[in-house]
Amino acid sequence: MSGNRLLLVCLWGLVMMSALGVVHTTQQSRALTAQLGQAQRHRDELRYEQERLLLERGAWSAYSRIEQVAREELDMRAPTPAERVLVPSGR
């Protein structure tokens, strides 16, 4: 009977270790799922920020914006026909 009792204790110990392993794995899985959700939200925020910055860059580099800055801040203007000089090509 002593051999059967030892086998039963060993099996019980293995079952308990297996149960603790399942609990640990489940907890780890939940934590990683939460981290994945956070990473996906952060990715979405970064995509939104990138789209916003691309739109802003497009607005700042639009021809009308460049012309406005040239006129107002740099005091530039288009040359009049009398101020234009045509340079012949050297072909």
Task: Record the pTM.
Answer: 0.54
DSSP letter, residue 61: T
What's the mean pLDDT in 74-82?
89
**CA 41/CA 49 separation, integer angstroms:** 12
The model's confidence at residue 1, banded by pLDDT at 50, 70 and 90, is: low
Question: Taking the alpha carbons of 67, 70, 72, 77 in that order, is the dihedral positive or negative?
Answer: negative
Dump pLDDT digits (tens) for 14-27.
Answer: 999 999 999 999 99
**CA 33/CA 35 separation, integer angstroms:** 5
The upper half-sphere exposure of residue 71, i.e. CA atoms within 13 Å in the direction of its Cβ, equals 9
